[in-house]
Structure 1
Amino acid sequence: MKLGADLSAFEGRIGHRFAAPELIVEAVTHASMSSPTRSDNQRLEFLGDRVLGLVMAQALLEADPGAAEGTLAPRFNALVRKETCAEVARDIALGDVLRLGRSEMLSGGRRKQALLGDAVEAVIAAVYLDAGFEAAKALILRLWGERIARVDADARDAKTALQEWAQARGLTPPQYVETARSGPDHQPVFTIAARLSTGAEATATAGSKREAQQAAAQALLQELEGSA
């Protein structure tokens, strides 16, 4: 099987040439393009998630031999969560080579965080099946790069951090309220307000409710820290 120019260039970007090129084709094929004769990347995503987790757990243990589990866990979560996987996918322009059905194309699938995160995990699995664990490990460490070294010692997603901030002060959990929605139905844009019972509030806008909530929580945390 001979790869097209786009996937050949993608191999160069990730630093791996496939002995079994059908694996990378499967890894970049979204479920919206699957058929009885064309496999999608869902099974590879399942496997890649586990390979990524093992590599990151080992990397964190080696990077900080004295760290307790309570310190390692939030670092691990920060490195393997969907937002980070999507960042990595954008770094290697994975969205450019995805095989998407018409509906996903029209809804901006090449930019969707969840879709990109799943796809990068599928690529990891494709490398693992093509060349083994050490090749997959090398790929992950190469693509995640400095993210591993600079991951916050207290890495938590913004919503979790904001909730803990509120609980520590005897406040009720933050509320997330959709204050506006714009754009076409196939590519909506959400504005979310993160609110505390004290009246403190911050808003953010993103292409998914989850992203907007996280961004609003981060903005509110920054305001609270700045006023402390």
Structure 2
Amino acid sequence: MKLSKDIHAFQERLGHDFADPELLIRALTHPSVSSPNRQDNQRLEFLGDRVLGLVMATALLDHDRQATEGQLAPRFNALVRKEACADVAREIDIGAVLKLGRSEMLSGGRRKQALLGDAMEAVIAAVYKDAGFEAAQAVILRLWGKRVGTVDEDARDPKTSLQEYVQARRQPPPAYVLVARSGPDHEPVFTIAARLQDGTEEQATAGSKRLAEQAAAKALLTKLEQKS
């Protein structure tokens, strides 16, 4: 199968030359452009999520042999969640080679976090099916790079940390209030306030409500800890 220059360049960024290029093409094919004769990447995404999980769990155990399960679990979640996959996908510019339907292209699909994260997992599965676990592991560890060693010592969701902080002081849980929404439908921007019952709050802005809530919670927790 003859590959385009863009796909060849992507293989170089990925660090794996496919013996079966069809696997890579399938991994880059979004459901919006699939057909009876062209499989999309959803099944590969399912597999890639599991391969990534095994590699990251093993890497974390090897990196810190004294860590407890309670310490490892949040670190693991931080490394395999969709945002982390999307960050890696942007670094190797998966968006440039994704095969998308017209509607997805017009709505900014090449920049969508969920779509990029899904494609990254599918590509991991494609490497695994093409050359086995060790090849997939090598690609993952190279692309995730220093993330394993620099993942926050306590990588818990900031919302969980904030809730535990206020509960320990017998205060009601914080509320998350949508302050503003801007931007086009395909690329919205949300401003969220994390607010305590006494009116103390911090605001944050991000491309999704969840990320904005997390950032606001982190900012509010930092403020509270500095006061205590």
Percent of aligned pairs with the same residue?
A: 72
Q: How does 1:128-167 map to 2 (within 5 A)?
A: 128-167=128-167
Which letter maps to 2:226?
Answer: G
Residues 1:107 and 1:208: Cα distance change in structure 2 (over 3 Å): farther
Look up the match of 1:18.
18
Which letter maps to 1:116?
Answer: L
Q: How far 1:145 moved relative to its partner?
A: 0.7
Aligned residues: CA RMSD? 1.5
Q: Secondary structure at the match of 1:16?
A: coil
Once residues 17 and 162 of structure 1 are traced to their aligned partners in structure 2, the CA distance between those partners, rounded to angstroms, is: 45
My pick for the range that moved more, 162-171 or 31-40, is 162-171
Q: Secondary structure at the match of 2:19?
A: coil
Q: How far 1:27 moved relative to its partner?
A: 0.9
The CA deviation string for residues 194-213 of structure 1, in whole angstroms up to 9 with x for no partner, is 11223221222222222222
The CA deviation string for residues 153-189 of structure 1, in whole angstroms up to 9 with x for no partner, is 2111222222222222222222211111122333322
Q: How far 1:118 moved relative to its partner?
A: 1.1
Which letter maps to 2:115?
Answer: L
Once residues 41 and 11 of structure 1 are traced to their aligned partners in structure 2, the CA distance between those partners, rounded to angstroms, is: 17
Q: How does 1:3-14 map to 2 (within 5 A)?
A: 3-14=3-14
Look up the match of 1:62.
62
Q: Which segments of 5 or more consecutive residues in structure 1 lack a partner in the other structure?
A: none
Q: How does 1:82-121 map to 2 (within 5 A)?
A: 82-121=82-121
Once residues 162 and 101 of structure 1 are traced to their aligned partners in structure 2, the CA distance between those partners, rounded to angstroms, is: 41
Aligned residues: 228
My pick for the range that moved more, 174-183 or 123-132, is 174-183
My pick for the range that moved more, 187-196 or 84-93, is 187-196
Tell me the TM-score normalized by structure 1. 0.94
Q: Secondary structure at the match of 2:215?
A: helix
Q: How does 1:133-212 map to 2 (within 5 A)?
A: 133-212=133-212
Look up the match of 2:77.
77
Q: Secondary structure at the match of 2:74?
A: helix
Q: Which segments of 5 or more consecutive residues in structure 2 lack a partner in the other structure?
A: none
Q: Secondary structure at the match of 2:65?
A: coil
Once residues 103 and 170 of structure 1 are traced to their aligned partners in structure 2, the CA distance between those partners, rounded to angstroms, is: 50
Q: How far 1:45 moved relative to its partner?
A: 0.7
Once residues 73 and 92 of structure 2 are traced to their aligned partners in structure 1, the CA distance between those partners, rounded to angstroms, is: 27
Q: Secondary structure at the match of 1:39?
A: coil
My pick for the range that moved more, 65-74 or 187-196, is 187-196
The CA deviation string for residues 130-150 of structure 1, in whole angstroms up to 9 with x for no partner, is 000000000110011100011
My pick for the range that moved more, 172-181 or 75-84, is 172-181
My pick for the range that moved more, 141-150 or 80-89, is 80-89
My pick for the range that moved more, 15-24 or 196-205, is 196-205
Residues 1:226 and 1:101: Cα distance change in structure 2 (over 3 Å): farther
Tell me the TM-score normalized by structure 2. 0.94
Once residues 5 and 143 of structure 1 are traced to their aligned partners in structure 2, the CA distance between those partners, rounded to angstroms, is: 22
Q: How far 1:85 moved relative to its partner?
A: 1.2
